Structure 1
Amino acid sequence: MKKSLLIIPFSVLLHLCILNGILYLMTPITYVESSNMIYYNLSWLIITFSLNFYPTERRETFETNLGKFFKLLGIYGLAYFALYGLRSDGIYTFEYRASVFLIICFFITAYRSLFYWVRKKYRLYGGNFRNVVVIGRDRNLKKIRRVFDQPELGYRYKGFFDDKPSVSPTYLGKMNDCFKYILENDVDYIYCIASKLSKKELEYLVTFADNNLKKLKIIPDNKEIFTRSMFIELYDTIPVLAMRKSPLEVEYAPIVKRTFDILFSSMVILLVLSWLAPLLYILMKFESKGPLFFKQKRHGVNRKTFWCYKFRSMTQNDSADTVMATKNDMRVTRIGKIIRKTSIDELPQFINVFLGDMSVVGPRPHMESHTEMYETSIDKYLVRHFVKPGITGLAQIKGYRGEIIKKADIVNRIRFDIFYTESWSLGLDLSIIYLTIVNAVRGEEKAY
């Protein structure tokens, strides 16, 4: 059974119905002017089609689509509130408009989740499947089989062809036998391992697929070095594999992240630091001499050095720039123990965020001496410097913060930092911020 051509139009129509239905029911004044209705609908269509939101890959799930989904809601939210700013009717407050938008987001998210759930169940029961064969056999075949063997993705793996005979139950014969089999068994997708065919054989296979309406997918010889973060760039007609790419390299992503950083850091500076800094200054003066802020050179994006600010939590000492705080560290003051335990000492770094040296979320910046030590002893350590360092990060909420006691501590920290650089999304940032606040309230074992 082939994929229905009505799925995308149906999804577009249903999303527009949700959007217009909620707006009409909750803000009927909005629809007094037809231009408002045109604006909301046209904005949705332009943004969704610009993001290529509706066409979904066969291997795409609700979870793998989350990044694109949050981008859609974020950009549409800007368009939604832009009209409110330009044409405030004075009847609906900003808070009410915001609650309407959240309701729209809820129902669209619910539909999107339901869509993927129904599609998964439909495929599990045999609907919307694709028959697949593989021509050639190498180590990649086992890896690609893991995808084909997931019934919810809708693949039906028939077997493989290879000139080297095999006792495998999925062995279908020599490569020349594939053409007759493909035509007789209604095969949809042909996966070809390029290293197993000559140039002439590949050219014939391309011609055969085109003339028989079959989808041909070529698997290059990867020399066992491919990673999830690789991507393809086209130089004229030549595909070039780039080994590493971050979602933050997409044109609009740095703008979204920087805008969020400026707004979030501004709120913290104005609403928290404005009164907390004078209060801590007074308390510190009762206990020890020294400045309110402690500043230290740390390495940021592309290994550039910047001054990182914290509330001073220790007595002044000569080892502050080389020795990390340890459990029961005698250098830590009484006030310092409290602000370190609750991570309040990190709050001045929102000044670094506002200035552009740091981000709210990202790999934690290390002291210069530690960067110089780890970059030669820890594999892929410097990958974390492709992005701005953060006040909090994925490694921190996973428990890898503070003192490095054994090598596994820094290795796992780097592993989470690299995962973050390769998987960034605004939704991931928001979840990390939420869990950071939860951990700060509960108190963390390594916060000393």
Structure 2
Amino acid sequence: MKSEPINAGQGVQVGGFIKQHHSMVTAAHQLADVLVIWGLLAGLVSLADYTWGMGYQIAAFVASICYHIFAHKNGLYFSWRGQSLFTEVKTVVTTWLVVLGTLLTITFLFDLTEEYGGAVMVAWAVAVPVAISLYRISARMVLREFRRVGVNTRRVAIVGAKEPGISLANSIIGSPWMGMTVAGFYDDRVPIGHYPLLEEDVQVVGTTELLKQQARAGEFDDIYIALPMREEETIKELVEELANSSCCVHIVPDLFTFKMLNARSREIGGLPVVSVYDTPFDSFDAVIKRAEDVILSSIILCGIAIPMLIIAAAVKLSSPGPVIFKQRRYGINGEEIMVWKFRSMTCCDNGDVVVQATKDDCRITKVGGFLRRTSLDELPQFINVLQGKMSIVGPRPHAVAHNELYRDKISGYMQRHLVKPGITGWAQVNGWRGETDTLEKMEKRIEFDLAYIRSWSVFFDVKIVWLTLIKGFFGNHVY
């Protein structure tokens, strides 16, 4: 029996186990690589009854570092949903051969050949790629079993019910190990209800307008635009519209001139696809970012515990109402979160309309005015960071009402939600904080937010934190 079309208001099972946990899977791969490289060499040295000296330790250390660098460059730590098992194993072997070449070069340059046992090193050179390949094959088998019961899947929409959309759908359906489920086709040129695949129960669900509605509602994990090159204007328009969703958007197979965000290429069943809007935290970088947040926020909270108690008492004694104001805002992937602040107003606006504070606003309490000018009202957000809802550095979270106001007015506005919101950000240290009474001011803030996402690095975060300490606590336009 054919499946029923998906209605725009229909409830959706949120898929994407990997969407939330892909970084942890990647971290596990990287840790396993290090353990294999060190463990095998240590084990072989022990079996040969050699001494685990400095020479072997340096070899293991250099091999681990080089393997991490080359593996990352070769894409081994990106999602392999669209790659064949053969391609992954081949990449493992190729990467290790480059590492061996590097080790041999260092060994001969510094005349270290006498430091190592020949048989041990040969056995190690053979055993490492075999072991890494075996555990990656095992990981695929385990994840495939999860996917069979509906876990670890991503919900995919395809725009284009002709070639190459049909080829893409056939590749996804023919490769269930990739963990993708095709929700349907969306096309303005093909009648709704048509089944482009002869033997598969996947139909044309609706037009691109319906796709936009469902994308805004968060009904998909990924959207693949598979329209022919002659539809260039349609594709450009669609890409601009989908900037107001939190979906990962990919184009098959051609590139046009877009304002890309962390664009990267990959393959789905041999077909090239390019991510137009994507998060920079889909690999070990997410683990680094989280560790940075946990360590820094823990240290900061220990240091500001007493000042926070004093501020809490001042807020409570100065005006009636709660000490902590919790406001609905958008977090990563456009999900609503509750952001904590010290209450600085006599009211707690948290509905569909939120009026920004202005100069001499009568709603601001005397204590609240000082807290807002110095940004001390933001201190409880370090607790949000520990909760995992926010990051120390990232785009500042806006009230839900403001997001809905600006998402259709500023191109790419919602793409700031591909990362966790932050307590401070690149826009704030460049002066774009406080009241945004004109569209131009908000556009500049978004411009800096997207620039941060494109250029993220740990050193960039450190720079922003340092600039915040120097000049970020005060501002002429903060009321």
**TM-score, normalised to structure 2's length?**
0.48
Of 345, 352, 358 in structure 1, the residue corresponding to residue 390 of structure 2 is 358
Q: CA deviation at 1:401?
A: 1.1
3-state secondary structure, aligned to 2:322: coil
Does residue 1:245 correspond to 2:295, yes or no? no
The answer to whether the 8 A contact 1:314-1:333 is kept is yes
Match of 1:110 in 2: none
3-state secondary structure, aligned to 2:274: strand
Give the Cα separation in 2 of the matches to 1:351 and 1:337: 22
| C-alpha distance 226-232 of structure 1, shift in aligned 2 (>3 A) | farther
Give the Cα separation in 2 of the matches to 1:353 and 1:300: 12
Letter in 2 for 1:245: D
| C-alpha distance 50-340 of structure 1, shift in aligned 2 (>3 A) | same
Match of 1:309 in 2: 340
Q: How does 1:220-235 map to 2 (within 5 A)?
A: 222-225=255-258, 227=260, 229-235=262-268
The answer to whether the 8 A contact 1:364-1:393 is kept is yes
| C-alpha distance 322-416 of structure 1, shift in aligned 2 (>3 A) | same
1:70-100 CA distance string (max 9 Å, x none): xxxxxxxxxxxxxxxxxxxxxxxxxxxxxxx
Query: Could you list the runs of 5+ residues in structure 2 that have no partner in the other structure?
Result: 1-50, 74-228, 230-252
Match of 1:283 in 2: 314
Letter in 1 for 2:61: S
Letter in 2 for 1:447: V
Q: CA deviation at 1:393?
A: 0.9
Match of 1:266 in 2: 298
Letter in 2 for 1:444: G
Does residue 1:398 correspond to 2:416, yes or no? no
Q: CA deviation at 1:338?
A: 1.9
Match of 2:467 in 1: 435
Larger Rg: 1
Aligned residue pairs: how many? Answer: 251
Give the Cα separation in 2 of the matches to 1:287 and 1:223: 57
The answer to whether the 8 A contact 1:246-1:424 is kept is no
Match of 1:326 in 2: 358
Give the Cα separation in 2 of the matches to 1:427 and 1:392: 15
1:207-264 CA distance string (max 9 Å, x none): xxxxxxxxxxxxx974444747432212344322221333212x20111111111111
Name which of structure 1's ranges 281-290 and 406-415 shifts more when overlaid on structure 2: 281-290
Match of 1:214 in 2: none
Letter in 1 for 2:278: K
1:93-141 CA distance string (max 9 Å, x none): xxxxxxxxxxxxxxxxxxxxxxxxxxxxxxxxxxxxxxxxxxxxxxxxx
Letter in 1 for 2:345: M
| C-alpha distance 322-379 of structure 1, shift in aligned 2 (>3 A) | same
Letter in 1 for 2:392: V
Give the Cα separation in 2 of the matches to 1:338 and 1:247: 36
Give the Cα separation in 2 of the matches to 1:229 and 1:260: 21
**TM-score, normalised to structure 1's length?**
0.51
3-state secondary structure, aligned to 1:243: strand
Of 62, 66, 78 in structure 2, the residue corresponding to residue 48 of structure 1 is 66
1:162-191 CA distance string (max 9 Å, x none): xxxxxxxxxxxxxxxxxxxxxxxxxxxxxx
Q: CA deviation at 1:310?
A: 0.6
| C-alpha distance 230-35 of structure 1, shift in aligned 2 (>3 A) | same
Match of 1:13 in 2: none
The answer to whether the 8 A contact 1:247-1:425 is kept is no
What's the % identity of the aligned pairs?
36
Q: CA deviation at 1:360?
A: 0.7
Does residue 1:338 correspond to 2:370, yes or no? yes
The answer to whether the 8 A contact 1:231-1:244 is kept is no
Does residue 1:367 correspond to 2:399, yes or no? yes
| C-alpha distance 242-284 of structure 1, shift in aligned 2 (>3 A) | closer
3-state secondary structure, aligned to 2:281: helix
Letter in 1 for 2:66: T
Give the Cα separation in 2 of the matches to 1:411 and 1:51: 37
Give the Cα separation in 2 of the matches to 1:366 and 1:34: 56
3-state secondary structure, aligned to 1:283: helix
The answer to whether the 8 A contact 2:426-2:448 is kept is yes
Give the Cα separation in 2 of the matches to 1:316 and 1:373: 21
3-state secondary structure, aligned to 1:290: coil
The answer to whether the 8 A contact 1:227-1:243 is kept is yes
Give the Cα separation in 2 of the matches to 1:323 and 1:405: 11
Give the Cα separation in 2 of the matches to 1:223 and 1:263: 41
The answer to whether the 8 A contact 2:328-2:336 is kept is yes
Q: How does 1:60-139 map to 2 (within 5 A)?
A: none
Give the Cα separation in 2 of the matches to 1:335 and 1:222: 53
Match of 1:417 in 2: 449
Give the Cα separation in 1 of the matches to 2:391 and 2:477: 22
Query: Could you list the runs of 5+ residues in structure 1 that have no partner in the other structure?
Result: 1-32, 56-194, 196-219
The answer to whether the 8 A contact 1:298-1:367 is kept is yes
